[in-house]
A and B are shown apart, each in its own frame.
Chain A
Amino acid sequence: MEFINDVIGVITAPGWRHFVGALLCAIGGVSTVIAAAGVLRFPDFYTRLHAASVTDTLGALTLILGMAFLAPGLLIVFKLILIGLFLVLTGPTSAHAIANAAYTAGLEPIIGKIGLQKAKEEDEA
């Protein structure tokens, strides 16, 4: 209950800054949850990696941007920018390392249509 009051307090605080910050944080949080759902729903390793990269980009970056809007001082904003830069540099590098390792180890990706689409085609054939 206290948490909900805090959230309402932040959103209704005077000035547009807090509203924009809270909105961006909400977008980041929701997209992170959607990406988690994608990781569970997608069929194989490589497609799941695509879903996970939504967390890296839209999720993390909008959260950081939202936090920057909510930050009390420019020093915090500077640190958040550094964190963002670090994420942008390391995120794709680690994703590539994982994908490359899987490909080198011989994990075959699923190619072409999958799921209901494929079932429909097979019915027609």
Chain B
Amino acid sequence: MLYVMGLATALTLLWLGMSGIYEPVVLSLGVISIAITVILATRLGLKDRETSPYHRIIPFLLYTPYLIVEILKANLTVIKAILKPDMDIQPTMVKVKTTCKSDLAKVIFANSITLTPGTVTLRVDDDSMLVHGLYEADAQPEAFEEMDRRASIAGDGRPSKGKGATK
């Protein structure tokens, strides 16, 4: 029941934000569509802890500033590499070990690596990832440890203890 309430609240906020017209007719249409969506989601069984991750919002918000700073730094590196007349890139492939346990944490970590320019995740395995980097010096496995730690905090809750929803 709590998950249904959460879904309804999120949908209401989304609808109010997207609409901008607050007249009785339009509002009632919104109420009807939210009700239909909630009923459909309930019938599909989309109401458990995994599909309503409200308990993850604060860890995500704490992770975001760090990610933005990393993205800005990496962007400057790549832009410099593009604008250099003599191209000095050294493409490389590294295996990065990860301590992330749950699928969610792994997705956060892999997507953070890909979102940071200069590194792209090529393959995700159980406890490691294959990463293609633009500079050999910047893409050493140690460079990803900090991001790995923070991603596992955001996705698993705690870095070491983590008994997430791994399949």
Indicate if the CB atoms of A41 and B82 lie closer than 8 Å: yes
* A-B Cβ contacts below 8 A, count: 123
Indicate if the CB atoms of A99 and B17 lie closer than 8 Å: no
Indicate if the CB atoms of B86 and A91 lie closer than 8 Å: no
Tell yes or no: B72 within 8 A of A by CB. yes
A109 and B82 alpha carbons, distance in the complex (Å): 18
Choose one: A44, A46, A58, A115; the contact of B120 (CB below 8 Å): A46
Tell yes or no: B12 within 8 A of A by CB. no
Indicate if the CB atoms of B123 and A42 lie closer than 8 Å: no
What does DSSP make chain A's interface, helix, strand, loop or mixed? helix
Q: Quick one: which of B95-138 are within 8 Å of A by CB? A: 110-112, 114-123, 130, 132, 134, 136
Tell yes or no: A4 within 8 A of B by CB. no
Tell yes or no: A92 within 8 A of B by CB. yes
- Shortest distance in angstroms between A10's beta carbon and chain B's nearest beta carbon? 23
A34-B83, A96-B120 given; name 12 further pairs at CB < 8 Å.
Answer: A35-B79, A37-B82, A44-B91, A50-B78, A50-B119, A51-B82, A53-B118, A57-B75, A82-B18, A111-B92, A112-B136, A114-B91
